[in-house]
Amino acid sequence: MSDDKLNLLSFSGRTRILHLTWFAFFLSFMVWFSSAPLMASIRETFGLSMQEVKALLILNVALTIPARIVVGMLVDKYGPKLIYAILLFSSSIICFVFAFAQSFEVLALSRFLLGFVGAGFVIGIRMISEWYPAKTVGVAEGIYGGWGNFGSAGAAMSLPTLALLFGGEDGWRYAIATTGAMAMIYSVIYYFSVTNTPKGSTYFKPKKTGAMEVTSRGDFYLYLVMNIPMYVALAVLTWKLSPANLGMLNQTVVSSIYAVLAGVFFYQLWHMYQVNKEVFHTEVPEIHRYQFKQVAVLNVAYFVTFGSELAVVSMLPLFFLDTFELTIAQAGLLASGYAFMNLVARPGGGWISDKFGRKQTLMVLLAGLTVGYFILGQVNSDWWIFAAVAATMFCSFFVQAGEGAVFAMVPLIKRRMTGQIAGMTGAYGNVGAVTFLTVFSFVSPQVFFMVIGCSAVLVFLIVWLFMENPEGQMAEVMPDGTVQMIDVT
């Protein structure tokens, strides 16, 4: 495994693992966003109001917030092979429930539960980091994330046509169920086709479980603060579904959810202290330290990159449908241009980060993202439709390249906690999605795009002021107690 070069035409060694893993992520994204290009048919079948449609969009990304945290811990402890197989199999069953739901309540509940499949991203990040060295991990993670994210474009491009082929009022149901069947079959294939590490390599596990390890008191307090937005996002979602807004939940249920969120937060706070209480009494040796502020910066960067992608992918087919008076298939195909850029943009962002520096790359891409969303904020029915598609693809290039740049750095912070760091960073992407989709439920699409652009300006300043390029080596403790140094530059 000494060869650092990528040979994507190969299907052996680490490249085989990369191909098998990005396809697992592709299927998870296809299942996750199978409803977006068919939302017009779903709306017609159930007679949904626009507010109910927007509620489904928000529900689709809500559970992924805690799911990515939990799955990050599980993958660090049990390995990506087992956890990815379980996730694909279980999500396929939920997909079937959604596809054949007969009431809006079942539709909403199953769509909420399907947010769990979005945690699949975290699993592959750990898998790829085990197989690729620091010099090429950025582009490898970019290929994994970008080609996997293309699952949403694959859904937008194929499912409307597949629904037409099935025919009838239930064509959309069978199209969505098809994605569930594919995920179920592939869960078995993946489990019997991969290993967690190359032969002879050690799979480093966290010394403690239940919370992320930090290495100073200041980092503990920052870790605490960075957990709050995830609970706030879930509370906002609950408020959105309360009697004061959509009325999908009664006040008793809403109050119970608030109480549960508060209880879970304080329970997690207790776990955080139990895992890290030593930092209040002893000083962690320099060789084992890492800076949690690096995790925090990556969190907010992913908030505005992947968070905006999830939100835009969720609303874009309907935006094109209503703005340009297209058919469902046409709107889905044109909207797929946003996610289509994942094929090259996310690997490109990882490659640029590998070659030209982590911080510099991310700043340039955030600047381009800002310009892209400001342009989309001007799109209306007076635009030439192909100019609107071009603006969409321009914006999406910087969004997805930015995602690649973020996750080019995630594996270089602390190897044994890569799953947890990826989980927290990934969860912030969903916090961004819930935030932006909540904004979208109150404003026009044009204002929605402008809000994202303004958020990107703030994140640019945070990256500029606080992010540092990783240098040198990280230390990891072997099972026998010896220390292994791993290059991060």
HEC states along the chain? Answer: CCCCCCCCCCCCHHHHHHHHHHHHHHHHHHHHCCCHHHHHHHHHHHCCCHHHHHHHHHHHHHCHHHHHHHHHHHHHHHCHHHHHHHHHHHHHHHHHHHHCCCCHHHHHHHHHHHHHHHHHHHHHHHHHHHHCCHHHHHHHHHHHHHHHHHHHHHHHHHHHHHHHHHCCCCHHHHHHHHHHHHHHHHHHHHHCCCCCCCCCCCCCCCCCCCCCCCCCHHHHHHHHHHHHHHHHHHHHHHHHCCCCCCCCCCHHHHHHHHHHHHHHHHHHHHHHHHHHHHHHCCCCCHHHCCCHHHHHHHHHHHHHHHHHHHHHHHHHHHHHHHHHCCCHHHHHHHHHHHHHCHHHHHHHHHHHHHHHCHHHHHHHHHHHHHHHHHHHCCCCCCCCHHHHHHHHHHHHHHHHHHHHHHHHHHHHCCHHHHHHHHHHHHHHHHHHHHHHHHHHCCCCHHHHHHHHHHHHHHHHHHHHHHCCCCCCEEEEECCCCCEEEEECC
* Torsions phi, psi for 211 (to 5 deg): -165, 165
Around Cβ 215, how many Cβ atoms within 10 Å?
20
Q: Which residues face 473 on adjacent strands?
A: 487
Residue 272 has pLDDT above 80, yes or no: yes
Q: Which amino acid is at 430?
A: N
CATH code given to domain 13-487 = 1.20.1250.20
Q: What share of the chain has pLDDT > 70, as a percent?
A: 95
Residue 3 has pLDDT above 60, yes or no: no
What is the value of pTM for the model shown? 0.83
Mean pLDDT of 302-315: 90
Structure tokens at 331: 């709107």
Structure tokens at 18: 């990369």
Report the pLDDT value the prediction gives residue 52, as an integer from 0 to 100. Answer: 83
User: Which one has a higher pLDDT value, 451 or 281?
Assistant: 451
* 381-428 per-position pLDDT tens digit: 889 888 999 999 999 999 999 999 998 898 888 877 888 898 899 889
The whole-angstrom separation of Cα 355 and Cα 255 is 51
Mean pLDDT of 268-288: 88
- CA nearest to 238, candidates 213, 215, 255, 218: 255
Report the pLDDT value the prediction gives residue 7, as an integer from 0 to 100. Answer: 72
Report the pLDDT value the prediction gives residue 288, as an integer from 0 to 100. Answer: 77
* 10-28 per-position pLDDT tens digit: 788 899 999 999 999 999 9
Report the pLDDT value the prediction gives residue 189, as an integer from 0 to 100. Answer: 97
Residue 247 has pLDDT above 70, yes or no: yes
Report the pLDDT value the prediction gives residue 1, as an integer from 0 to 100. Answer: 41
Report the pLDDT value the prediction gives residue 359, as an integer from 0 to 100. Answer: 92
* 173-189 per-position pLDDT tens digit: 999 999 999 999 999 99
Q: 82-86, 344-348, 355-359, 470-474: which has the minimum mean pLDDT?
A: 470-474
Burial of 186 per CB tally in 10 Å (0-12, 13-18, 19+) = buried
Mean pLDDT of 217-232: 94
The whole-angstrom separation of Cα 40 and Cα 48 is 9
Report the pLDDT value the prediction gives residue 2, as an integer from 0 to 100. Answer: 43
pLDDT band at 4 (very low <50, low <70, confident <90, very high): low
Report the pLDDT value the prediction gives residue 5, as an integer from 0 to 100. Answer: 63
Q: Is 456:366 a contact under the CB 8 Å cutoff? A: yes
Report the pLDDT value the prediction gives residue 473, as an integer from 0 to 100. Answer: 60
Residue 423 C-beta-side C-alpha neighbours within 13 Å: 25
The average confidence (pLDDT) of the chain is 88
pLDDT band at 285 (very low <50, low <70, confident <90, very high): confident
The whole-angstrom separation of Cα 217 and Cα 123 is 29
* 74-109 per-position pLDDT tens digit: 998 899 999 999 999 999 999 999 999 999 889 989
Residue 315 has pLDDT above 80, yes or no: yes
Q: Tokens 């192909």 correspond to what residue?
A: 386
- CA nearest to 472, candidates 301, 292, 348, 290: 290
pLDDT band at 245 (very low <50, low <70, confident <90, very high): confident
Report the pLDDT value the prediction gives residue 327, as an integer from 0 to 100. Answer: 79
Distances (CA, A) of 387 to 74, 213, 329: 45, 48, 19
Burial of 16 per CB tally in 10 Å (0-12, 13-18, 19+) = middle
Burial of 94 per CB tally in 10 Å (0-12, 13-18, 19+) = buried
Residue 191 has pLDDT above 90, yes or no: yes
Mean pLDDT of 254-268: 92
Residue 481 has pLDDT above 60, yes or no: no
